[in-house]
Each structure stands twice: as structure tokens, then as C-alpha cells.
Amino acid sequence: MTNDRAQSGSALEEGSIQLMQNRRIFADDNYGVAEDLNEMDKVGNGMRVKATYFVEIINHKTGISH
């Protein structure tokens, strides 16, 4: 399955996971398109996306999935 929207993930600290999709930034973040990013629906509301994430945690020492 492929993504149908921008998504990102990181693990900046041990024991934490951050998942992101559909960023909304009301000013240019100076990371690319030189414009703010504010996706809206047909009537001007911020986009809402129903999403389900499945995360598999694996202990690399034991190979056991949790």
C-alpha cells in the first residue's frame, strides 16, 4: 500500500515515536515551496484525515516483536 498524503516519522528520543501527517503551517517554514502550508476542504475547513497506523516494535537484541 502506498501513502496518499505526506507522512513522516521520527524517534528523536529513546522510547518515543513521533508520527506526522498533513502539516499545517500558517507561515513559510523556509523548507521548500516558499509558501505557507494550509490544506483545506471545499468549504475552507482544515483537512481532517481518518488514519490508522500499525506500529511493530522489535527488540533488536532478542528479535522478539511486541
Full-model pTM? 0.42
What pLDDT is stored for residue 43 in this prediction?
Answer: 92
CA distance 47 to 59: 36
Q: What are the extents of the domains in the chain? A: 1-66
- Single-letter code of the amino acid located at 59: N
1 pLDDT more than 60: no
| Interval 11-62: pLDDT, tens | 888 888 888 776 677 777 777 777 777 778 889 888 777 777 777 888 878 8
Count Cβ atoms within 10 A of the Cβ of residue 5 and give its class: 0-12 exposed, 13-18 middle, 19 or more buried.
Answer: exposed
